[in-house]
Structure 1
Amino acid sequence: MTEPASRTPEPTRAWVLHPDIPSKPGRRAPAFALEEAVALAAALPGLDIVGGDLVRLNQPRPGTLFGTGKVEELGALFKANDIELVLIDGPLSPVQQRNLEKDWKVKILDRTGLILEIFSDRARTREGVLQVEMAALSYQRTRLVRAWTHLERQRGGLGFVGGPGETQIEADRRAIDEQLTRLRRQLDKVVKTRELHRSARAKVPFPIVALVGYTNAGKSTLFNRVTGASVMAKDMLFATLDPTMRAIDLPDGPKIILSDTVGFISALPTELVAAFRATLEEVLTADLIVHVRDISDPETEAQAEDVREIVESLGVDPDTPQIEVWNKLDRLDAEAAERLRALAPRQPDVHLISAITGEGLDDLLADIATRISDPVLNDTLHLEFSDGRRRAWLFAQGVVEAERPGEDGVELDLRWTARQKETFSRL
């Protein structure tokens, strides 16, 4: 008897709500905020985004967020459209979530839960997976997670949208604390391994150039174009989560290590800022930060400000050189593109490029080479005859101009960079 073919589960029908609160500090343009919220929802597999709405709120209600009339109106809308999951683009208290789920008879996910679900789906490295789990547990610790098994047939996840493992997470706070302790121990081991790799890289005098930017700004496309790598690059929020590094030779310049990092987003959950700090450590140690912006996005200025605030909150040295790359020139109409081409040369720390067509990349790479190339120093150094290992390193670096033997060692005339001199001091 032939086995029946397994059917692909139907996607979960979802609706996106963006509560627009005029008095909220840092309020974004409502239409663009809703558009970003829908794009976030679309980044999570297994969902069918049926619709989205802006809901103006003069005063959020502590029990239900929305007023009684709006709760009833939305409930009827969701019932008429067979909605199973409502995504609310903002923070929800456990009480608000519980009350709305009871009234609407649907599962509800707030912005933090949605971003955590996306991160859970995308994390690939051991470190990334552990950090997502820790962030999720910290978030869940404050609320009771009810079983919701509709998506369990399709994907795992963190338990917000459904998946195995919910009963263990729901048990009690003590069980969650025990899990957090166990995960921290595992993460400590992974971080120590990363530190060893970083120490090994520190012995090689290659500058680190870190790409940062708002999610979907085109960092990974630029990274792939420059390095020839094949990092996932899609027109999708959070296409890249785990850091990727490649060593490349700049044209007419030094070798560098280029680092692609997770994209930032407005109102990034505090749990994730803390959890992904280790992932963003390459930004903290970078010799140059390249801030990639989607210059075609109407919200590019607000996005750039979000990135600057997060970079500052990470504790990046304010003296670390930074440049801006205005990407996606190919998406602008001819008039807007020409206007920017005329504007960019007046700003020495700005490059106008298209990572898709390659326009502007030669000038960008030349500027990076100039900025991270150390000035050359002339030195004379005395080494004992027994110090053969360090002498060999100097010759391998090609910095020895002349060598003169003496009674107790050798005199070396060197032409090297400050970076090479610092590395030599650690040998």
Structure 2
Amino acid sequence: MTTSPPPSSPSPALSMPRWELVGMVAALMALNALAIDVFIPALTEIGEALAVEEANRRQFVISAYVMGFGAAQLFYGTISDRFGRRPVLMFGLAVYVAASALAAYAPNFESLLAIRFIQGVGTAATRVIAVSVVRDTFGGARMASVMSLVMMVFMAVPLIAPNVGQVIILFGNWQSVFWVTGILGAVMAVWSYLRLPETLHPEYRLPLTFSRVSAAFRVVVTTRASFGYSLATALTFAVLFAFINQAEQLFTQTFGMGEMFTLAFSAIALFMALSSFMNSRLVERLGMRRLSHLALSLFLALIMTGLVLAFTLGDSFPVWLFGILMAMLFACFGFTGTNFNALAMDPLGHVAGTASSVLGFMQTFVGGVLGALIGYLYDGTVVPLFIGYLLLALGAVACVAVAEGGRLFGPDDDLSIVPAAVQDAD
């Protein structure tokens, strides 16, 4: 019978200092965020260099990466549950570095999108392994606390990434951005190879039999709390992806900020990082459910306010008011994204790799597709953005309600139950 390791059980990951483990996991997650946000200032130059006439199509540089990143997670989690975390991470980082170099020589826009997809496929390993390493090592509220610290760094990346991209373009070109991401990927590969131990307990390695793999997938999608919270995370992440896709056009065209838009983007991202830090300090005291459910309620209220203002003010919507709304909206991510992920993963420690990949696929791929769709509807105003946000927020509330059986703001009960489907699988 396979059981989930208790949170207090020894883990190979604890053989390295906790601060270094958290720092490494955070850096792996940040590598993915950097590969998205650092390219925002480069979209216009890429479009001009590769003859992309329709401005909204330039957003596909972001979307193609997110699609590859989301889809590949299904593969990595299952493989890492069999062969361990380290070899899968090394493979993914190698693909990421190679794709970064190839993208710098893309002859046309279609080739660039294909390479960006492959780049996302490579870095998907960093997300799956990062979450799996944390789940291998910690459990319950402690896992949420550690993930909050990780997400604090992850969410701090947008503070600097667009500005870094702007500086790179000022002194180089759009190809230079790919070289920088490739070098950073190589640095992470060396650090991980030298310092990251194997965190998967030998007794929790799963054979690659069809019955075992299908049983693990079935556990993920039939565990109500995990499935519901994963979908809720996908819908809230779609809000973020929609904003990232539209950010350059919103700030430069709708609000006329020019190259200074990266500072506004960074200011909004600051609140995401601060709220994630606050969550890490509060979650063990107040609980994942209470914090995340309160943040989701505020999330919905802010979106409804923004939509009313968008219709009321029209073209007179001031940039300062939009910035305040976005800052408050994305501050909610520090309390929803991290806790929703922890609540989804907590019952699934016995299939952590597969669970991380399936949940990551649902969250990133589904969130990326919906975010890209809303982003592509940009019409020069903020109205399509807030309409899309409202639909996503209502869907997220419904998913959380289903996950909790209709009861919100409840205590953090222990959900770490080993489903019979995996126990009995061959």
Please state which band the TM-score falls in when normalised by the shorter chain.
Answer: under 0.3
Normalization by structure 2: what TM-score?
A: 0.24
Larger Rg: 1
Greater fraction strand = 1
Greater fraction helix = 2
Normalization by structure 1: what TM-score?
A: 0.24
Greater RCO (CA < 8 Å, at least 6 residues apart): 2
